[in-house]
Structure 1
Amino acid sequence: MRIENSFIPVTGVGERTERSLWEAGVTRWESFAPSAVGAKQAENIESFIAEASERLDDGDARFFRERFPSGSHWRCYENFREETCFLDIETTGLDQRRHDVTVVGTHSPGDTEVFVAGRDLTAERLQRRLDDAKLLVTFNGKRFDVPFLESAFDVDVDVPHVDLMYPCRRLGLTGGLKAIERETGIERDRQDLSGEDAVRLWREYERGDEGALETLVSYNRDDTENLRLLADHVTDLLDSDVFVSPE
């Protein structure tokens, strides 16, 4: 599903109206005709399409961050797939006021970077990585990863953010990232490691064990790169679940 299939960013258009348009054959902006709805609604839709088409041509993902309901940011994925930043962090605990960020992994097609605290993890590098992206994808990132990074590094996230935990729940996929990976057939090298192990590995590294850091970085890399596989899977399922093609 692409942004151009969507009408819910229009003021006054909800999912019911959007579905009615799809069922009537209006499945893309270019197929919209004013006669499909009332006069005022038609005016709103035509105004939105005119502006949104220009913004989409310009690659302005931030415009759609403001216009789409947050729960529908996944609809931006197909358009901005190649410019998506998949992000996952490791920390020393769950409280951003007391605990530290140890490792941050970012992945975009063909490029994975893992930043390590005390080495190359800086606010400037993180902000540059985020600024280069059109879309951010995380798992539980709205409650965990992003607040941690905002608190620790004062970074600014102003692109559409797809937190896969919520669309997974919508599809009946519950539990943590590793459990959902197993349920959806996504593999990783080390199935035996968890978030608790990530804390332990960091402590061992602080005591001088470089091998522990290598394992932690590999674990984070798996987390980050598997987000792309999960996003592909989940958006395909949501497309089938949400989008209505006319008979």
Structure 2
Amino acid sequence: MRIENSFIPVRGVGETTERRLWENGVTHWDEFDGSVVGSTLADRIETFIDEGRTHLDRGNVSVFAEALPAASRWRCYENVSDETCFLDIETTGLSAETNDVTTVSLHQDGETKTFVKERDLTSHRLTRELEEAALLVTFNGQRFDVPFLETCFDVTIDVPHVDLMYPCKKIGLDGGLKPIEQELGIDRDMPDISGRDAVRLWREYERGDDGALETLIEYNRADTANLEPLMEIVADRLHERVFEAALADE
């Protein structure tokens, strides 16, 4: 499902009105003629479509991400999948005020990069890497990863953001990332490691165990890279549940 199939970013259009549009054959911006809704709302939708085309031509999905509910921001993904950055961090604890970020992994266009505390993990590097992204995807990053990075590195991360925890809940996938991966059959090439293990590995590295850092990096990279197949599965399932189901009721 693409942004051009969506109407709920328009003020006054909820899921019920959007579904009514789809059921009446208005499944894409190109098909909107104003006949299904009142004139005032039709004018708003026309304006939204005109402005929306300009944003999409520029590769900018931020206006749509801001207007969509958190659980519906997955709709932005197909438009900018190649420019989507998947992100995950490891820390020494749960408070950004008293703990540190140890590793940050970014996965985009088939490549995974990992940055390490006191090596190459800097605010400048983070800013430069994220500037290349049209969309940011995390799991629980809205409450944890993003504010943690902003606090620890004094940066502002304003990339349009899909936190997969919310669309996962919409299709009945509750719990943490690892149980969801297992339920969906998304494999890992390494034993499961917890967040507590990640803290322990960093402490062992600080005491001179380079192998512990290698394990921590591998774990962080797996968390990050596995967000991509999760995003694909979630987007496909929600496409079927939200969009194709409406068309089946026409």
Q: How does 1:45-64 map to 2 (within 5 A)?
A: 45-64=45-64
Q: What aligned pairs does 1:129-208 form with structure 2 within 5 A after superposition?
A: 129-208=129-208
Runs of 4+ in 1 over 6 A off after TM superposition: none
1:107 equivalenced with 2:107 (yes/no): yes
Contact 1:61 1:159 in 2 (8 A): no
Q: 1:188-229 deviations in whole A, cap 9, x for unaligned?
A: 012331111111110000000001001110101100000001
The one-letter amino acid of 1:124's match is H
Give the deviation of 1:184 after TM superposition.
0.4
2:172 partner amino acid: G
Deviations 1:95-120 (A, max 9, x none): 11111100000000121100000100
| Cα drift, residue 30 of structure 1 | 0.2
Q: Is the 8 A contact 1:88 1:105 kept in 2?
A: yes
How many angstroms does 1:61 deviate by?
1.9
Mapped to 1, the partners of 2:113 and 2:142 lie a distance apart of 21
**Aligned pairs, how many?**
247
* Structure 1: runs of 5 or more not aligned: none
TM superposition shift of 1:68: 2.3
Unpaired runs of 5+ in structure 2? none
Q: Which residue of 1 aligns with 2:67?
A: 67
Counterpart secondary structure, 1:36: coil
Asked if the contact 1:4/1:28 (under 8 Å) is kept, the reply is yes
The range that moved more, 141-150 or 65-74, is: 65-74
Residues 70 and 174 of structure 1, relative CA distance in 2, 3 Å threshold? closer
| Other structure's SS at 1:245 match | helix
**TM-score for the superposition, normalised by structure 2:** 0.96
The letter for the 1-side match of 2:198 is A
- The code of the aligned residue for 1:242 comes to V
For the aligned residue pairs, the C-alpha RMSD in angstroms reads 1.1
Query: Which residue number in structure 2 is paired with residue 235 of structure 1?
Result: 235
- Secondary structure at the residue paired with 2:247? coil
The TM-score normalised by the length of structure 1 is 0.97
